């Protein structure tokens, strides 16, 4: 498998072949991790890293009664050569066996350094050229439209879940075209592309984690 792009083949064949290939390679032969990106950072004026998530950003549905507004995100000091950004929000503590994806935004132009509060609540609020991708609220209707932000809503009585907000800086303008995957591909498929398939075309990433329980 090329360290830069995934082969253009059927979705199932791509996933199976890519995963098998990576698993069989010795560590020294695998695509190199993204180089350090000094100072690249992600923050939010709405959420304190390590702190709790306010009810206004919590899901409205599935037993939760938040406002489901996407929080503002800001990033700075992107690596040289960045052509686009990707944002993903993930709950690794969801009792699904695979975590839970709450929000994904792809092909954010390199000139953009923030998503304002509410940007994830309608496609028209995203920067020109960017698009909301599939998350695990697909076809449930609780986010309004597929691709919109879906806030935290862990099972009642559980320990507070972690919500990991991550921005990726890419050396490609269109992740789907570069990787040969559909825009409708799952967040996990795009996560594989970001963390392995693009190789050195993934220039760096920055994250913070916040908590929510009920």
Q: Which pLDDT belongs to residue 36? A: 47
| Among 182, 191, 190, 193, residue whose Cα is nearest residue 11 | 182
User: What whole-number distance in Å separates Cα of residue 82 and Cα of residue 169?
Assistant: 6
Q: Let me know: does 174 contact 84? Beta carbons within 8 Å.
A: yes
Q: Which pLDDT belongs to residue 54? A: 98
> pLDDT under 50 in the chain at which residues?
1-36
Q: Which pLDDT belongs to residue 32? A: 41
Q: Let me know: does 17 contact 2? Beta carbons within 8 Å.
A: no
Q: Which pLDDT belongs to residue 181? A: 97
- Give pTM, 2 decimals: 0.83
Q: Which pLDDT belongs to residue 37? A: 52
| Tens digits of residue pLDDT in 69-123 | 999 999 999 999 999 999 999 999 999 999 999 999 999 999 999 999 999 999 9
Q: Are strands 84-91 and 161-170 parallel, antiparallel or unpaired?
A: antiparallel
Q: Which pLDDT belongs to residue 25? A: 35
Q: Which pLDDT belongs to residue 21? A: 40
Residues 6+ apart with CB under 8 A from 185: 11, 133, 134, 176
Q: Which pLDDT belongs to residue 194? A: 98
Alpha helices in the chain (DSSP H): 11-24, 175-179, 187-192
């Amino acid at each position: 498998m090329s360290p830069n792009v995934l082969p253009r083949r059927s979705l199932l064949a791509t996933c199976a072949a890519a995963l098998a290939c990576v698993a069989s390679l010795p560590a020294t032969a695998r695509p190199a991790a993204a180089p350090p990106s000094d100072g690249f950072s992600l923050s939010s004026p709405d959420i304190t890293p390590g702190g709790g998530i306010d009810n206004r950003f919590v899901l409205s549905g599935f037993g939760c009664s938040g406002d489901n507004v996407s929080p503002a995100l800001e990033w700075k000091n992107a690596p040289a050569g960045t052509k686009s950004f990707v944002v993903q929000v993930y709950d690794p503590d969801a009792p699904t066996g695979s975590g839970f994806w709450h929000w994904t935004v792809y092909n954010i132009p390199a000139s953009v350094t923030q998503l304002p509060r509410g940007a994830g609540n309608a496609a028209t609020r995203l920067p020109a050229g960017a698009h909301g991708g599939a998350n695990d609220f697909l076809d449930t209707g609780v986010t309004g439209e597929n691709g919109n932000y879906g806030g935290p809503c862990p099972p009642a009585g559980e320990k507070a879940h972690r919500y990991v907000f991550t921005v990726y800086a890419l050396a490609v303008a269109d992740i789907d075209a570069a990787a040969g995957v559909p825009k409708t591909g799952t967040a996990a498929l795009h996560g594989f592309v970001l963390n392995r398939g693009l190789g050195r075309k993934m220039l760096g990433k920055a994250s913070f984690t916040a908590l929510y329980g009920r």
